[in-house]
Amino acid sequence: MKTFPLAMAAWLIGTALAGAQDPARTPLVRADAHFVIGWQNLHKQQPTEQSYSNDWLNSIFYGGLGAGWYWTDNLKTQVDFGGGTKASQYRYSYVTNGTQSTNTSSRLTVQQQSVAIGQQYQFFRNQWFHPHVGAGLDVARETTRQTFQPIYIYDSSTRTSTQIAPPVSKGPEHRTITRPFAEVGFKAYMTKRAFFTGDTRVKFKDGMDEILFRLGFGVDF
């Protein structure tokens, strides 16, 4: 898995150079730019001791922009910048103090911004609707914070609660994540140069790590 990003980068560069050296015909479109909004879904594996099993943070609002360069009418290299709003994951577990057990909870806040470069194959030529498939690399900066609630033990004999641990906050912590992605999407023209675009992008890191749905508008140059 560690060599996959390097292989993907080599494929992207090699494919782009092959397209650039093809003199068969000049692309109808040389470049385009777009902006998008969408919904981001992040996978955050819960620790094994957690009792709450939802590992996904869903329906995060996403915004981004990007630009692409056509090597041929069907082959396009695209760069995207974007990020999502903060999302929270609630975690619950049990703790034991002597012979007594109680539950504890925490909230994990996650936010990501990323830059991605991908290679697309766009079907058809000089049509109003162009579906495409693509693949590439995504580099994300992830910021996390975790807040733990105070822990109380209830004494049934005295009918009182005693705090055994205060509230604790950890973070912010930052890390950089590099992931390959695959996508399917489309480009639908409203005028000769203006278009509506949409895609679904899936990113992988030890399995499916993120699902991103995007819709937006753009213009050809």
CATH, range 4-20+28-220:
2.40.160.20
pLDDT digits (tens, 9 = 90+) for 142-178: 999 999 999 888 877 778 888 888 999 998 999 999 9
Which secondary-structure segment (H or E) carries 114? strand 100-122
Residue 108 has a pLDDT of 93
Cα-based distances in Å from 50 to 31, 106, 185: 49, 10, 37
pLDDT > 90? residue 67: yes
Tokens of residue 86, six digits: 């903060």
pLDDT digits (tens, 9 = 90+) for 185-219: 999 999 999 999 999 999 999 899 999 999 999 99
Give the whole-angstrom CA distance, residue 42 versus residue 44. Answer: 6
Q: What mean pLDDT value characterizes the chain?
A: 87
More confident residue, 181 or 154: 181
Give the start-to-end residue ranges of the domains of the chain.
Answer: 4-20+28-220
More confident residue, 208 or 47: 208
